[in-house]
Chain A
Amino acid sequence: MFADLPILSLTIWLPIIGGMLVFASGNQAANASRWTALTVAILTFVVSLALWAGFDTSTAQMQFVERTSWIALFDIEYYLGVDGISMPLIILTTFISIFVIIAGWEVVQYRPASYMAAFLIMEGVMVGVFSALDAMLFYVFWEAMLIPMFLIIGIWGGPNRVYATIKFFLYTFFGSVFMLVALIYMYFQAGSFDILAFHDLKLGLTEQILIFVAFLLAFAVKVPMWPVHTWLPDAHVEAPTGGSVILAAIMLKIGGYGFLRFSLPITPDASQQLDWLIITMSLIAVVYIGFVALVQQDMKKLIAYSSIAHMGFVTLGFFIVFMIFAGDSASGGATLGVEGGMVQMVSHGFISAAMFLCVGVLYDRMHSRQIADYGGVANTMPLFAGLMVFFAMANAGLPGTSGFVGEFMVILASFQADFWFAFLAATTLILGAAYTLWMVKRVIFGVVANERVAALKDIGSREFFVLGSLALAVLALGLWPAPLVEVMDASIVNLLKHLAVSKL
């Protein structure tokens, strides 16, 4: 029933065109533009659900493929398709976007229509990144993503937003130009921009290493990996709540997705040669960043650092596969590692979104993100406190929540690579709990700290709906991750088969 419709194009262009219409309608009819934006976001989510419903989990082939020539002169095509790796991320994008729209409903009074429009366009572009199978098309979406985010932080951001936007833009742009060079190089080798053709491209080790490094610069900045992570805390602090949510929940995932779609399959030998580098950077992200998060005074910075630490599990899970291949244990661990990284991405999408929304709820009321300004919030906002404690526990990786699943899988897998990898990775159990729950202790518990906390009003039905929905998602994925893993399994097993064969 869905087969005839261009589902992917719809998922991309519905929000982009919808966003443009909302933008064109102007900021006077604020309520109308909010409702339009929400309708478009919900509609997009419903359309994207068709991807899940019609998805064939038994194959690693690209599905929902759309392919027509775009710029024939350079063999650039409008080529879309999804597999088990991109499909869950697309649904994550459309899901989270709904809550971003709702969360900005009343808070954003300055140019509300433009705000909604920026997020809708952002949504479409991000879906484009996940579904593009033509490298040029991918690159266009990739760079296009920067524009709405740049505007979101630059227009609706905090006092230091100019520094943050420029840092954000230069950092990510710096990374991506190298990727462009690599893509063009491979175009000359392969004769097309077809990403799947790149996968089968024969490349020498030196070529592979150069291409790998080019990709690494692009993706490591996006993830972000240590030591190119410092743009993230600044960007988060200055971004409005919705911007932080999109940034943490989805944009970071694009880096992780890039490793799976480009680095690993295109340059498997270079990945194997340099896996120690990625593993080291990932473990530093988990341990070093965990300590850094501990001493943050600003809630958003703390959660931003926590994001970096959690994303360390993603890259760790992806790159331990070679050492597991080399070891004598059964190779099941490699699958566990990559799937764990994927689960961690989806889970982090929910949890980081929720955590930033929680901070947003407090910020909207008190206009402060400083932990020291709070204390005893549970006494005035018990409902909110319950939800925030729940998300904090999820952030600390409590079993039964989604935060546990990915970390658990990656720890299990990294043990098969090396005891000490697992040892360092598992420190997150202590560090993650320490920085998250210490913040909760200072913000939520205790006696009412000051007059302003005493005057706080508990969350309304709109905020409850947003946080409650995310809580359900976190719980569902924690209690039954099987459906998500099943969807991605064929694609990841296929990827690992591909990786096991040297291109040399």
Chain B
Amino acid sequence: MDTIYLIIVLAPLVGSIIAGFWGGRIGRAWSHWVTTAGVGLSTLLSFYVLYRFLAGSTEVYNATVYSWMVSGGFRFEVGFLVDQLTAVMISVVTFVSFCVHVYTIGYMAHDEENWPDDSLAGRNSYQRFFSYISLFTFSMLMLVMANNFVQLFFGWEAVGLVSYLLIGFWSVRPTAVFANLKAFLVNRVGDFGFILGIAAVAMYFGSLDYAQVFARAPQLADVQVAVWGDSQWSLMSLIGILLFIGAMGKSAQVPLHVWLPDSMEGPTPISALIHAATMVTAGVFMVARMSPLYELSETALSFVLVIGATTAFFMGLIGIVQNDIKRVVAYSTLSQLGYMMVALGVSAYAAGIFHLMTHAFFKALLFLAAGSVIIGMHHDQDIRNMGGLKKYMPVTYWTSLIGSLALIGFPGFSGFFSKDAIIESVHASSIAGSGYAYLMVVAGVFVTALYTFRMFFLVFHGEGPRDAHAKGHVKESPKVVTIPLILLAIPSIGIGYFTIGDMLFGDWFKDVLYVAPAHAVLEIMGEEFHGAWTFMLHGMTGLPFILAMAGLATAAFIYLKRPSIAHDIKTRFDLLYLALDRKYWFDELYQLVFAGGGRAIGRLFWSLGDRFVIDGVIINGSARAVGRMADWVRTIQTGYLFHYAIAMILGLLVLLTWYVIV
């Protein structure tokens, strides 16, 4: 079995290396074939692994591949843990990645147009892009298949690296290379907390192996540590919060969310793959994986809950005022990641992973559909210039509709089941902050429906396209683009209905995700669960459903019937509009405080500390002092005999006097 796992991980890496190093030699076609085949192979094998788990014909696999390092009694190893959670994750990652690989063949076909003519970097950019997305797939698989913290961190940073390379893929665009640096640095702020969390685990558990750490966790549940002076902290809270800071960076939670909207500077396929479906959900996966630790600290869980709920609502609000099609979807992603975090915060880990899975499909679909629209609009991304695309792009239209309905949680679509499960579990929870979170996630449903269908109606309905330039050019994208849309639309519709029973209320995650008896919200809900159909019917009588419909109706009324209302609201609530339009001034604040402040401190240290005090006063100062002393001594060396004679006589006198007195 371990050969299969190795192939799953290494096949994308091999493809990436071939396309990356020899892409120029083997040409474009071979490059996309070799990478797509590698990921395709991984996908098939991942499905096979998932199938074996479903059939109950395989055991949890936890073994070392090789020993990375042994030092000071710590064994750091590279190894795989494959259980039900891993099986779901690798299937989602490889499947979405495969769809994105196919889609990229169409989307990047004319990438040379994005580069200046004489740029050598643009010459093999097509091959390089495939190399990167395969490398990403490898990194993500390493992350989700890790059986220890070091490898987790390796995958964690490796996906960050590829994200950096891909956001800045069009390196001749100033906005792109600004965005990728920002993304990397904000992620590093998260990783700063993450590595401290790992260090805490290493110190108190004496191991970084998941199995050993989880086994020891209950014994350390009541350990208190002093962090600042004598203040006592629960060890588990400290570890939980530190690790979660890492997740806030990677999964773009407030206040470390600022990089994700800017990451839209990257080509659309990677927005779908990295910044919607997979990498940004790494934080969610990590917290779920660490459930045996988080369950021991309600403080950490509440922290996760409040951060998630805040992100879910307030980032969704920004989505309403965005006009760039990709940015609307990006803010939607932020908001949906908040929903997943909320699920984790109330210990409904399975619901978080469930939403992660459904979201991966419908959000990748929405992004790829947005990309298809962008191709149709000749790289115009402003939804105000679109409109009426329904008749020109039927496949994109229908798949977008499916994705949008899934996103707003329309009954029957995959997003409905996962989102309803999250809201219900928040409702059932009594952990600190759950009241606030409930309010946020329920209100968020309306917001989600509103921004989703605002975009949908502006893009596809009405007269159009509004931009006269685009008229007559718009046509449906080629098959390599539309087939992935269809492939993703299928799970966007059906996956929720068919898997909710097993994933949430069955025993699929029973031995994987640990939930303390006091937090078992899903178990409570499970008692009333009688199949997906009744769950759906029940959901249609609830408040979230009504709010979703209200949001949809509002969007329809404003953007199909009375466009003037939008403008009226904008002027009526100009301050609110400004706050949303400026994204609550996070960017301006960070730019001033961190970027500006960091440079100011650097200049201060350099000019005052290094150049003035150390070099100016101490080093060159002592050199000058020696110089002055030498000058003075030099004046005594006159060369005149009588000067020396007088000095000798004076000296003799002084000595004699001293002898006489003493």
Q: Which residues of A contact B (CB under 8 A)?
A: 167, 170-171, 227, 230, 288, 291-296, 329-337, 339-340, 376, 378-382, 385, 389, 393, 398-400, 404-405, 408-409, 411-416, 419, 422-423, 426-427, 429-430, 433-434, 437-438, 441, 444-448, 454, 458, 479-482, 485-486, 489
Contact = CB atoms under 8 A, between A and B. Distances in A.
Contact of B599 (A295, A412, A427): A295
B72 interface: yes
Given A412-B198, A422-B196, A434-B185, A336 B120 contact: no
A445 B177 contact: yes
Interface stretch (B81-89, B413-421, B583-591, B605-613): B605-613
A335 B196 contact: no
Interface string B294-305: 000000000000
Interface of B: 66-74, 116, 118-124, 150, 153-154, 156-158, 161, 164-165, 168, 171-172, 174, 177-178, 181, 184-185, 188-189, 191-192, 195-196, 198-200, 202-204, 206, 225, 227, 598-599, 601-603, 605-606, 609-610, 614-615, 618-619, 623
Contact of B203 (A333, A340, A385): A333
A405 B603 CA distance: 30
Nearest to A288: B605
A192 B199 CA distance: 44
A405 B121 contact: no
Contacts of A416: 203
Contact of A379 (B120, B157, B225, B610): B120
12 contacts: A230-B619, A288-B609, A291-B598, A291-B606, A292-B606, A294-B599, A332-B74, A335-B71, A335-B72, A409-B71, A429-B195, A446-B172
B199 A412 contact: yes
A485 B156 CA distance: 24
Given A415-B199, A430-B189, A482-B68, A294 B598 contact: yes
A69 to B, nearest CB: 39
Contacts of B150: 399, 408
A288 B336 CA distance: 39
Nearest to A163: B620
A415 B615 CA distance: 33
B453 to A, nearest CB: 38
B183 to A, nearest CB: 11
B184 A437 contact: yes
A479 B191 CA distance: 20
A339 B195 CA distance: 19
B598 A399 contact: no
Contact of B605 (A170, A292, A404): A292
The 8 closest A-B pairs by CB, nearest first: A335-B72, A332-B73, A415-B199, A332-B72, A295-B602, A336-B72, A294-B602, A379-B119
Contacts of A293: 602
Nearest to A397: B157
Contacts of B599: 294-295
Contacts of A380: 119-120
Given A288-B605, A379-B116, A480-B66, A339 B71 contact: yes
Nearest to B153: A399
A489 B69 CA distance: 11
Contacts of A447: 116, 172, 174
B126 to A, nearest CB: 14
Contacts of B225: 419
Contact of B71 (A382, A398, A489): A489
A445 B72 contact: no
Contacts of B116: 379, 447-448
Main SS of chain A's interface residues?
A: helix
B181 A438 contact: yes
Nearest to A440: B181
Main SS of chain B's interface residues?
A: helix
A385 B121 contact: yes
A332 B150 CA distance: 17
Contacts of A448: 116, 118-119
Nearest to A432: B188
A486 B75 CA distance: 12
Contacts of A381: 120
B174 A446 contact: yes
Given A294-B599, A332-B71, A415-B202, 8 more contacts: A170-B623, A331-B72, A398-B158, A400-B154, A415-B203, A441-B178, A446-B177, A482-B70
B153, B200, B606: most-surrounded residue (chain A CB, <10 A):
B606
A429 B68 CA distance: 21
A336 B70 CA distance: 9
A97 B67 CA distance: 31
B224 to A, nearest CB: 13
A144 to B, nearest CB: 25
A485 B171 contact: no
Nearest to B620: A167
Given A330-B206, A441-B177, A429 B74 contact: no
A486 B202 CA distance: 20
A485 B195 contact: no
Contacts of B206: 330, 332
A30 B119 CA distance: 37
A441 B181 contact: yes
Contact of B72 (A296, A334, A430, A437): A334
A92 to B, nearest CB: 18
A503 to B, nearest CB: 24
Contacts of B73: 330, 332, 335
B68 A382 contact: no
A376 B172 contact: yes
B67, B68, B69: most-surrounded residue (chain A CB, <10 A):
B69
Contacts of B158: 398-400
A398 B157 contact: yes
A489 to B, nearest CB: 7
A292 B602 contact: yes
Nearest to A407: B195
A292 B604 CA distance: 8
A203 to B, nearest CB: 28
B227 A437 contact: no
Nearest to A409: B71
B66, B154, B196, B204: most-surrounded residue (chain A CB, <10 A):
B196
Contacts of B619: 167, 171, 230
Given A230-B614, A288-B609, A398 B161 contact: yes
Contacts of A480: 66, 68
Nearest to A415: B199
B185 A408 contact: no
A189 to B, nearest CB: 32
Contacts of A412: 74, 198-199, 202-203
A379 B121 contact: yes
Nearest to A338: B72
A228 to B, nearest CB: 8
Contacts of B202: 412, 415
Nearest to B200: A415
Nearest to B124: A382
A271 B185 CA distance: 37
B636 to A, nearest CB: 25
Given A329-B203, A434-B598, A419 B68 contact: no
A379 B605 contact: no
Nearest to A289: B605
Contact of B606 (A295, A329, A331, A400): A295
Contacts of A481: 68-69
Contacts of B204: 329
B171 A446 contact: yes
A336 B71 contact: yes
A429 B188 contact: yes
B71 A458 contact: no
Nearest to A456: B120
B195 A426 contact: yes
A485 B70 contact: yes
A392 to B, nearest CB: 11
A408 B68 CA distance: 13
Nearest to A380: B120
B188 A433 contact: yes
